[in-house]
Structure 1
Amino acid sequence: MPCQLVTGGAGFIGSAYVLQARRAGIRVINLDKLTYAGNAASLSALADDPDHILVRGDIGNEELVAFLLQTHKPDAVVNFAAESHVDRSIVDPDAFVRTNVLGTSALLRVVKDWWRSLPADKAARFRFLHVSTDEVYGALQPGDPAFTETTPYSPNSPYSASKAASDHMVRAFHETYGLPVLLTNCSNNYGPRQFPEKLIPLMILNALEGKPLPVYGSGANIRDWLHVEDHCAAIARVLEAGLVGRSYNIGGHAERTNLEVVHAVCMILDELVPWAHGAYAGLITYVTDRPGHDFRYAIDCSRIEKELGWKPVHRFDSGLRETVKWYLDNSTWVEHVRSGAYRDWLAVNYGQRNGTDGMGGAR
């Protein structure tokens, strides 16, 4: 049975990937720090699965990573572990450096040393796949061509700067040591089990509670939206057939303004759970924009489509409807993740912008 060490596999995208990998018959060693966004409840379907081993730990713990590699001898390491919320990075940039830069560097060093000890045939088959973001490329204006894999890096937030640094470390370990790496850079993900500080789940949950639906600035900022299941399928395809040392952009062909996304959520909720006080769009509140808010991201994913034959299968409209329904049907999961620490975070970071809590925005 193939085996993979997946880091950050209890987070939103990581857990979706782990569930998909187990359906594909891959044994998964899941290393996750289980901080605020790492949720073991997202993996409840694997509670009795002997081929999913969840280990609580940090990618910066070199002794632990070395033990897992030596014990389980994975065919690949898939690195999702990262601090990933822009607003948190503005409040505490050092935390993003510790995890995304120093943590990735430590992980690479341990994996490199272990990989060098492997027999030649196993070493040749081994892959280290690093999951990154389109934000490393900076920002676009309307009419600008979409990001390609050759777009120069120009990060504008502490989060994107830390991810850019981790990408460069991954490439450096390939060029310097020959480590067989792959990189993926994705657009905004959405879907079930996303932590509710992100735009779509936060709008859903605030609306259901009759709270304001805060939109940064005028809501004109544009993102390309990618369903998490499509993203995970793309990662699996890159692992299977990607060219070592190469990066692959992954997008959803679904550019929308933030305001369009919020209105779409409201319209679905109007249909599924009508609000006694009128249309949910009446809760939309425009608030002061966040510092350094990139205007537009757009992904050109023609490389992965042409070279590897991958394309997204979810349309945004239907994928968003399925996502809204998932949150309506999974209130227990929602309450589990909406801890006191999470509510305190919303109040500290966003409440001062307009005197209310429960705010949110896109990446």
Structure 2
Amino acid sequence: MKTEFKKSRLSLVISNKEIDSRNDVGNFHELRAYLCPPPGRFSWVLMLILGLWALSALAEEDFRYRYVSLEDAVLPPGFLFFDPIAINDSGRVYGTLYDETDIIYVAVYEDGVVTIINPGFTVAANESGTVGGAVVNDPDNFLTQAALFRGSQVELIPANTEFDYVIDLNDSGTAIVASSEYFLYKNGKTTALDFGPNALPYLFLHVNNEGTVSGTNSISSGHNRGILLDTKAGKTTQLDPLPTESDSWAVDINNSGKVLGYSFVSGGTERIGLWDKKGKFKTYFVEGTPEFPTISNFLAFNDNNLIVITSTSDGKSYLVTKPGGVRLNVADSVENMPADQKLSKILDINNKGDMIGYSLSSYFVTDTYLLQRIDDDD
């Protein structure tokens, strides 16, 4: 039986959204999306066939992928598995590596080999290879301190709670840190994030290379609203839904300043699209309709505005390349897609279009993978 994902008000998000439940190291593969701790392994909680129209669009866009199972990666001796979190434009995949004693390590995958960076867990990585996450000070109680990992160097970020971590990281090294408050951190300097009175954005916080922060919060009516903070000008813009919907989620922001998200009715119509810097929303695809009844729980995109719809009620992942109502089943463009795997969740996409994610079967991960986009000359 398939699970139907329903968006709900933020005050109910923990009980009504599909959030991955983890083993004893915590709930942290979805930290970027849900601000929970990083990924364990074996308890991942979580109909529509495209017609000839979509298939012709696929051929026109020429998206072709090579499937690489990260389960086949060469791990250091004594380690059990590698969980991917982020992929940069070089194609390096950053994630968390687990050993036989449940100690976790920041690590990187490249050319079939996983290399240890340092003890800790991964949440984000930038183009220079700096990783944001945390070190674990108390493994029994999973008490953490936010940290930046640059090769063998670890920069601990001062904070004032027992569970602090980096949420996101831009290419200049500016990090969003979650502690008793949210703040930006760079070169030893902290700047509190001020979203205005009574605003508590606690989902999907991201920072782009301009230092602009996006996120989602709950307003006085109890509905959800996307929010955009220009940290240089100190200006906050509310990202409203279209008049036809009641709620909005701002899920991510790219380096051109576009904000990815939903204008939606809980359990109903979901418009997926982009807000510009002025807060104007442009629809790219509409789901939760009789024609496209599937609904989704996660989105990713890149600086080219290539959108991935994933964690869907039909267990598939889709690409949307431009406004206009066409989505492409990612699996149809994978040349060596294993018959027993599904592209259940895409976690990240780089500017080339390479993606990382995992497959689910009966709520268990059956594979983690890298989808390498194939160029015409490959």
TM-score by length of 1: 0.29
Question: Normalized per residue, which structure has more strand?
Answer: 2
1 or 2 for the larger relative contact order (CA 8 Å, sep ≥6)?
1
Structure (1/2) with the larger helix percentage: 1
